[in-house]
Structure 1
Amino acid sequence: MRRYETIFISDPDLPEDNRATLFEKMQGLIAEHDGYIAFFDEWGARKLAYEVKKKKRGYYVLMDFCAEGSLIAEMERIMRIDDRILKFLTIQTEEEVDLDAVKEQVAKAKAEKEAAQKAAAEKAEAARLEAEKAAEEEAAKAAEAQAKEAPAAEAPAEEAPAAEAPAEAPAEEPAEEPKSDEEDA
C-alpha cells in the first residue's frame, strides 16, 4: 500500500449539498478500493492564479490517503469526467506504508489537536472569568468612589441653601407700598 496526496479544485459556485455529495463520492471511491483516508482538508474558496474553465475562483480540497496504485487511475478518470472538478493533482508521498502506523499517527494527531483545542478553550474561559472579575472590581471601585463623592458633594450643597435662605427672606417680606397722593385726598 502506498501513501498519496490529492489536491483538487472544485467549482466554487456549487451549492453546499452538491459539493458534499462530490466529497462523499471521492471518499467512497477510496473506501471501495480498500484505501484509508488519513485526512480530508477543505481549504475553501480561493482565487485562482489564472482562469480555469472560465472560473476565477476555486474550492480547494486536500486528501491524504493510503491505497493501492490501481485506485489512482480510477480516481483520476472520474475527476476528468466530472464537470464539478476544475483541476486535480495526485502525488505519491510514500512508496510503502504500514497502515497501522498511519492510523496510529492520525489518531495521535487528532488527540493532540483535541488537547490543543481543549487547552485553548480552557484558556479562553479563564481569560473570560478574569475579565469578568476585573469588570466587577472596576464597578465596585467606581461605586465606592461615587459613594465617597456623594457625601462630599452633599455637604456643600446643604450649606448653600442655608446661605441663600437669608437672601430670599427679605425678598419675601412685603414691602411697604409708597402712598400715593390720591389716597391722602
Structure 2
Amino acid sequence: MPLYEHVLISRQDLSNAQAEGLIEHFSTVLADNGGKVVETEYWGVKTMAYKINKNRKGHYAFLKTDAPSAAVQEMERLCRLHDDVMRVLTIKVDAHEEGPSVQMQKRDERSERRERR
C-alpha cells in the first residue's frame, strides 16, 4: 500500500485532549477503510503565518500512514466536513523517515537549551 504523511490543523479553542481525540478519530477512519497508522505526533499549539477562519493559532498533528487511496480520500472528506479541522495536508512519500519529525527535534533542542541555562 502507498505511504502517506498528513498534517492536521484544528481550532485553537480546543483542549489538548480534544485535539488528540481528533487524531484518534481519524486514525480509526483510516483503520476502518483498510489502512494503518504507523505513527502519530501531536505538535501542540502553534502560531500560523496568516489567519484561517478567524484563528491565529491552531493545534497541529502529524500522522504517518500506510493506507489505500480510498481510505485517504475518505479521511480527507471527513476532515473537510468536521467543524474543528481547519486544514489538512496529505503528501504521498516513498518511505517514512525513522525517528521523530523535524518539528519534534526542534522541540527537543529547545528543551535542552533551557536545561543548560
TM interval, short-chain normalised: 0.7 to 0.9
Alignment match, 1:83: 83
1:117-160 CA distance string (max 9 Å, x none):
xxxxxxxxxxxxxxxxxxxxxxxxxxxxxxxxxxxxxxxxxxxx
Q: Which has the higher contact order (CA 8 A, sep 6+)?
A: 2
CA–CA distance in structure 2, aligned partners of residues 36 and 76 of structure 1: 15
Alignment match, 1:135: none
Q: What amino acid is the match of 1:70?
A: A
CA–CA distance in structure 1, aligned partners of residues 37 and 31 of structure 2: 8
Q: Which runs of 4+ in 1 moved over 3 A?
A: none
Alignment match, 1:9: 9
* Structure 1 pair 42–16 and aligned structure 2 pair: CA distance change class (3 A): closer
Normalising to structure 2: TM-score of the pair? Answer: 0.76
Backbone CA RMSD of aligned residues: 2.1
**Percent of aligned pairs sharing the same letter:** 28
Q: What amino acid is the match of 2:51?
A: E
Alignment match, 1:35: 35
CA–CA distance in structure 2, aligned partners of residues 70 and 48 of structure 1: 30
CA–CA distance in structure 2, aligned partners of residues 72 and 24 of structure 1: 15
**Matched residues, number:** 100
Q: What amino acid is the match of 2:5?
A: E
Larger Rg: 1
Q: What amino acid is the match of 1:30?
A: L
Higher helix proportion (structure 1 or 2): 1
CA–CA distance in structure 2, aligned partners of residues 21 and 44 of structure 1: 13
Shift of 1:21: 2.7
CA–CA distance in structure 2, aligned partners of residues 62 and 17 of structure 1: 15
Shift of 1:33: 1.6
Matched residue of 1:13: which SS? coil
Any unmatched runs of 5+ in structure 1?
Answer: 111-185
Higher strand proportion (structure 1 or 2): 2
Matched residue of 2:18: which SS? helix
Shift of 1:63: 0.4
Alignment match, 2:112: none
Shift of 1:17: 3.6
